[in-house]
Amino acid sequence: MTFAVITVALVAGAVADRMRFSSYVLFCIGWFTFVYIPLAHWVWGGGFLAQAGVLDFAGGLVVHLSAGTAGLVAAVVMGRRRGYGTENLSPYNLSLAVIGTGMLWVGWFGFNGGSALQANSRAVMAILTTHLAACAGALTWCAIEWITRRKPSVLGMISGAVAGLGTITPASGFVEPWHGIVIGLIAGAVCFWACTSLKHRFNYDDTLDVFGIHGIGGVLGTLMTGIFATAAIGGTAGLIEGNPKLLLTQAYGVAVVFAWTGGVTFILLKVVDMLAGLRVSHEHEVEGLDITQHGEALQ
């Protein structure tokens, strides 16, 4: 249930500042029922993806790709925020963002290490690999910002860390620690591209870059599991150990999850829009959802 709560909560980040809270609650109920539960069964419950040999140690497909895909669809369906591209919509409090990232980082050790379901050497390996991937992702994102913009940022550092954490999630229990560094480096670079160039190219407003970090990270991590999986750790060999079939199997898993999540999410959003309306009014959006939806705000 913890994984399920995290997954549907991630989707909210893509449509922050413009979605009705009541509509979001309705959407969560439908999304959990028709998206998360089927995916969890297909991948972890002995369903057809598991039988096909798809590997997902802690949620690259079930959590990150599904949330990222749903976030992208929701952002496109709902449209951009008022003032997007014309006003300064930068983060309000980076101090809280850093604190939150630190909590996420430590909690991810339980997320990935706990997926071993035992306090054993595989859990330790997953935790170590997770930490190294987060470090590599943070440093890579920061370095790219420094090179391309001449200004490394705190936001970039923590975004890179989360990109590394999300990308290593499906692979953490199948790869060696040095693989985690490589995966983190790739995650930092590719997710940076997705959150800047790709996002601007298609001009969609994913408020917290759920697709760019979690969706793209889930795809990367799942595919790199097919490349770096080590038989001595997870019992399955990947491409570098002479088993190219696993990479194709992982790509199949990505395609299925993306298609199912995208299609069902679109239908659910349209149904909720007909029942309750997805978007708050212009006046409420300008005033802010903390006040208009919940009657509270930071002063």
Q: Consecutive sets of 10 residues in the chain, 299 residues long: mean pLDDT of each?
A: 88 94 97 98 98 98 98 96 78 90 97 94 96 98 97 96 98 98 98 97 95 98 98 96 98 99 99 95 79 77
State the greatest distance between any 2 C-alpha atoms of the chain, in Å, as a whole number: 59
pTM of the model: 0.95
Note the pLDDT of residue 86: 74
Inter-helix orientation angle 177-193/121-149, to 10°: 40
Note the pLDDT of residue 59: 96
Percentage of residues of the chain with pLDDT beyond 90: 87
Note the pLDDT of residue 298: 67
> Yes or no: is domain 2-294 CATH 3.40.800.10?
no
Note the pLDDT of residue 292: 80
Note the pLDDT of residue 84: 79
Count the neighbouring beta carbons within 10 Å of the beta carbon of residue 169: 32
Note the pLDDT of residue 64: 98
